[in-house]
Structure 1
Amino acid sequence: MGTTIDPAPGEHVAMLRKARGWTQTQLSDRASVSTSLLSKIEVGNRALTPEVAASLGRAFGMSMAEVLGRASVAANDEQLLAELRAAMRDYDMPEDQAAPEDRIAADLRTADGYRDAVDVAALITLLPGLLRDATTYAHTANSGAAWSTLADVYSTVYWLAARHRWMDMAELAVTRQRWAVEQQPNPVAEAFAARDRAGTYLNFGAVERGLVVVDRAIVAVQSAPLGTTDRDLAMGILNLRGMTLAGRLQDKKEAKREAQRHIDSAQRAASSFPAGDIDAHGLTFGPQNTLTHVLATNVDLGQPQAALALTDNLDQALTGLPPTRVAPTRINAARAQLDLGDRDGALENLSLAFDAAPQMARIHPMGREVLRVLSSLHRRSNPELVRLSRLSGIRL
C-alpha cells in the first residue's frame, strides 16, 4: 500500500517535450525559458522550480501540477480512491443511519494525526468511510459544528489530492468544502476553505487569481464578527497562503512587495500566540509555522541566503512541528543550500526530510528534484545518496 514511483519533475518535462516532438529550443521559445536552463533541468543539473514549471505548463497547455507529474498509488489503493471519489459524488446523499458523533470526532482526530505524520497509506484507507459518516452527520444534525466537521474532512481530502497533484480531485474537494461551510455561517471555516481554494490556483500556476481569492477572504474576515483569537487564526492562515502565492509571481519586484505584505500580516497574527503554534481544522498556525513559510517564500523569491539566515538553529525552529511541516521546510532549506553551492548541507537537510516524513519526501516534487540534482552533480559514491535513491526510486 502507498504511492508508486514516478519520474522526477525535470525528467517528466523531457518526456512531455519528446512526446510532442519538440526540440529543447522550440519548448524554450514557447515558454520564454532559456535553452541552457531547460537543458540543465532535463538532465538533472538544475532543479525544476515552481515558477519555471508554471511557464512550461503554459507552453504545454497544462497546469503546473501536470508538468510536475501526478503521483501514482499502488494498485491495491486504487479501489480506495474510487470509493473516496464515490463518497464525494454523494455529497447530498446521506446514509440511512448516522454514525455516533463521538466516533466521527475520534476518526477526524485520527485523520489529522495521519495527515500530520504524512501517513498517506493510512489516510487513504480511513477517508472514504469518514467522509460518508461526516456527510450523514452534517445532514442529520444540521448544525454549524457538524457542517464545519464535514468541511474539515474535505480539507483533508484536498490535502491528500494536492500532495499527489490529483488536481481534478483537489478542485472537487475545495468545491465541496466551500459548499459545506456555506450551510451554516462560520467565518473561520470559510477562511480555511478560501485558503484551500487558493491552493488549487497555486498548483495550477495561476498565482494571481489565487491572490485574489486570498485578499477577498481577508476582507471578509476583517468584517466578520469574530473574537481576537479566531480573527488572528483566520488572518494568519490566509496570509501564509498569500505569501506563498506572492513569492511565485513572475514580476519579482511585485513578488517581493506582495510577499512582504502577507509576511508582515502573518507575523502580526502569529504574535497573538506567544505560547506556541496551535492546531485548528487540521492545520497549524503560530510563530513557528509562519517562519517555515517565510523561509519557503524567500527561496521562491530567489533569496536563498535570506531564507537560511532566518534562523541559526533550524533544528530548534522546527521542534514540535508535525512532520507535514518539518519535511517541506527541510526540502526548502536543501534547495536554498543547493542554490548556494552547499551540496553537503543540501544532502543533510534532504536526508532529514526523508527521515521526518518518508512518504511525503518521496512524492514532493522539489524533494525529488533536489535529490536528482545532487545525484547528477556528485562525482563519487555516496552511501547517503544510495539510501535516498532507494527510498525515492530515483536512479543515481
Structure 2
Amino acid sequence: MTGTHETPGPGRNVATLRKARDMSQVKLAREAGVSVSLLSKIEVGDRALSQGVAAALARAMHVTLGEVLGKAHVEQDQEANLKYLRSTIRRFDLPGEAPANPEFLSHDLDALADLRGDAKLAEVLEKTPALLEKTTNYAHATGSPSAWAMVADVYSTVYWLAARHRWMDLAELAVLKQQLAADRADPLVSAIASRDEAGTFLNSGDFAGGLAIVDRAIVRAESSLEGEARAFGLGQLHLRGLTLAGRMGDSAEAERHTVAAWRVAEQFPEDVKSHGLHFGPENTTNHLIATSVDLEDHRKALATMDGLGRRRLNLPATRVGPLHMNVARAKLALGDRDGALESLKDAWDIAPQMAKVHPTSRELMRVLISLHKRSNPTLTKLAKQAGVSL
C-alpha cells in the first residue's frame, strides 16, 4: 500500500510533536521510560501506541495527552450545536423559564441515554443542549433532588460526548457542573459524578490522581448508599479504578478493584442500567478484557473474550464497540493481523461514529495499514469510512 507512512493517528502525532521540540528518539525514550526500539516502532507504524505509553510520552514532551491522541474536529453542521451547548453550560446559575411540559423530561432523558448507548455521537450533540437547558430550568424552579438528578445525568452525557472527542476543556467543565447538580440530588448521583470526574484524570493521563478520586468516592459511597444503589455505585467506581490502574500498569491495584467489582457484580444476575450507565457481570468482564490488554496480558484478554463471546451480549454499542477495539489490540500484539482487522471491522460495524473518532480505532488502522503490504478489501473499506487515504 502506498503512502502508509502519512496515515494519521496517535503514534504519528508522537513523531510530529517530538520533532517540533527538537528531541531525539533516544532522549524522548529515556525521559518517558520506554525503549528506543518501542518508540521507533510506534512512530513508523509497526506497533500500536497504548494510552499508558502515550501518557508517559506526553509528560516527557510537556504536552497534553489530548495533543498526542489528537482532538476530534467538529463537523461544520455541528458547530452551532456545540456553541449552544457551551452557552447552556455557562448559564448554569442563570435559569430561564421552566418547561411547559416537565412530564416529558424523563422520556427525553431516556431517549438521550439510548442515543448514548447506541454511540450516536452526532445525534447526542444535537439533542443535548436543549435538554440540558430544560432540565436546568426545571431544577431551579422546583429544587427537587429528582430534578437535579436529571441535570446531573445530562451533564454525565456531556462528559461522555466531550471525552469521546477529546474536548477536554468541555469534559472538565461538564463534570464540575455535574457535581454541583449531584450535590443537590442523592448519593448515587454523586458517586456517578465522581466516576466521571475520575474520567477526566484518566483522559488527561493523570492515572494516580484519578485513583485518588475513586478511592475517596468509594469511602463516601460505602457510608451513604444502601442496597442495589450501593452495589451499582460501588461497581461503577471500581470499574473506573480498574481502568486507571491498568493504564498506570499497576497489576496489584487492578486486582484490588477487580475483586471488589466482582463482589458487587454478583448481586446482579444480569447487567442493569441506571442513570444512563450499565453495571453487572458483562460490563465487569468487558473492563477486565480492556485492562488485561493495558497490562499486556493479551492471551488472558482473548481467553476472557472467548468466554464472553459464547453468549449474546446485552451491552450497548458504546461498550461493545471499544470491546472489539481492545480485542483487536490483543490480536495485533500477538501477531494476528487478519484477526485484528476483523475485530476492528466489528467495532466499526457496531459503533461507526465512535470508531471514527476513537484514538484506539485510529491507531489500530494506522498500524494495520502500515503492516499490510498487499491490498486488502476490508482495510480499504474501513480506511474509506475513516476518511484515510491509502
Offset at residue 99 of structure 1 (A): 4.2
Which of 260, 263, 273 in structure 1 is aligned with 2:258?
263
**Are the structure 2 counterparts of residues 133 and 284 from structure 1 closer, same or farther at C-alpha, using a change threshold of 3 Å?**
same
For residues 263-298 of structure 1, what are the alpha-carbon distances to aligned partners after superposition, in whole Å with 9 as ceiling and x for unaligned?
111111111111x11111111111000100011011
Offset at residue 161 of structure 1 (A): 0.3
Offset at residue 34 of structure 1 (A): 2.3
Match of 2:321 in 1: 327
Q: Which runs of 5+ in 2 are unaligned?
A: 1-6
Match of 2:214 in 1: 214
Offset at residue 14 of structure 1 (A): 1.9
Match of 2:124 in 1: 123
CA distance in structure 1 between the partners assigned to 2:296 and 2:184 by the alignment: 42
**Are the structure 2 counterparts of residues 200 and 347 from structure 1 closer, same or farther at C-alpha, using a change threshold of 3 Å?**
same
For residues 96-138 of structure 1, what are the alpha-carbon distances to aligned partners after superposition, in whole Å with 9 as ceiling and x for unaligned?
2434222221221111111111111111111111111011011
Query: Secondary structure in 2 aligned to 1:362?
Result: helix
Query: Secondary structure in 1 aligned to 2:357?
Result: coil
CA distance in structure 1 between the partners assigned to 2:154 and 2:8 by the alignment: 30
Offset at residue 314 of structure 1 (A): 4.3
CA distance in structure 1 between the partners assigned to 2:141 and 2:75 by the alignment: 35
More displaced 10-residue stretch of structure 1: 68-77 or 57-66: 57-66
CA distance in structure 2 between the partners assigned to 1:299 and 1:15 by the alignment: 26
Match of 2:357 in 1: 363
Match of 2:101 in 1: 100
| 1:1-396 to 2 correspondences below 5 Å | 7-184=8-185, 186-224=186-224, 226-249=225-248, 252=249, 255-274=250-269, 276-317=270-311, 319-396=313-390
CA distance in structure 1 between the partners assigned to 2:312 and 2:65 by the alignment: 29
Query: Secondary structure in 2 aligned to 1:72?
Result: coil
Partner letter of residue 228 of structure 2? T
Q: Which structure has the higher relative contact order (CA within 8 Å, separation 6+)? A: 2
Offset at residue 49 of structure 1 (A): 0.6
Query: Secondary structure in 1 aligned to 2:243?
Result: helix
Offset at residue 351 of structure 1 (A): 0.6
Query: Secondary structure in 2 aligned to 1:248?
Result: helix
CA distance in structure 2 between the partners assigned to 1:65 and 1:99 by the alignment: 41
Q: Is the 8 A contact 1:334 1:345 kept in 2?
A: yes
Partner letter of residue 360 of structure 1? M
Q: Is the 8 A contact 2:305 2:327 kept in 1?
A: no
Q: Is the 8 A contact 2:32 2:59 kept in 1?
A: yes
Query: Secondary structure in 2 aligned to 1:104?
Result: helix
More displaced 10-residue stretch of structure 1: 154-163 or 357-366: 357-366
Query: Secondary structure in 2 aligned to 1:196?
Result: helix
Q: Is the 8 A contact 1:296 1:332 kept in 2?
A: yes
Please, what is the CA RMSD of the aligned residues?
Answer: 1.5
Moved over 4 A (4+): none
Q: Is the 8 A contact 1:111 1:127 kept in 2?
A: yes
Query: Secondary structure in 2 aligned to 1:279?
Result: strand
Match of 2:3 in 1: none
CA distance in structure 1 between the partners assigned to 2:191 and 2:89 by the alignment: 21
**Are the structure 2 counterparts of residues 66 and 318 from structure 1 closer, same or farther at C-alpha, using a change threshold of 3 Å?**
farther
Offset at residue 56 of structure 1 (A): 1.1
Offset at residue 363 of structure 1 (A): 1.1
Q: Is the 8 A contact 2:271 2:281 kept in 1?
A: yes
* Structure-2-length-normalised TM-score: 0.95
Query: Secondary structure in 2 aligned to 1:51?
Result: helix
CA distance in structure 2 between the partners assigned to 1:90 and 1:151 by the alignment: 15
Q: Is the 8 A contact 1:63 1:203 kept in 2?
A: no
Offset at residue 309 of structure 1 (A): 1.2
Q: Is the 8 A contact 1:155 1:174 kept in 2?
A: yes
Q: Is the 8 A contact 1:288 1:318 kept in 2?
A: no
Match of 1:3 in 2: none
Offset at residue 65 of structure 1 (A): 2.4
CA distance in structure 2 between the partners assigned to 1:318 and 1:77 by the alignment: 35
Identity, % of aligned positions:
50
Partner letter of residue 188 of structure 1? L
CA distance in structure 2 between the partners assigned to 1:382 and 1:320 by the alignment: 32
CA distance in structure 2 between the partners assigned to 1:97 and 1:133 by the alignment: 7
For residues 11-51 of structure 1, what are the alpha-carbon distances to aligned partners after superposition, in whole Å with 9 as ceiling and x for unaligned?
12222223333333333233233222222111211111111
Offset at residue 89 of structure 1 (A): 0.4
Query: Secondary structure in 2 aligned to 1:47?
Result: coil
CA distance in structure 1 between the partners assigned to 2:222 and 2:318 by the alignment: 29
Query: Secondary structure in 1 aligned to 2:309?
Result: helix
For residues 188-235 of structure 1, what are the alpha-carbon distances to aligned partners after superposition, in whole Å with 9 as ceiling and x for unaligned?
0011000000000001111111011101111111111x3321110011
Offset at residue 371 of structure 1 (A): 1.5
CA distance in structure 1 between the partners assigned to 2:139 and 2:190 by the alignment: 16
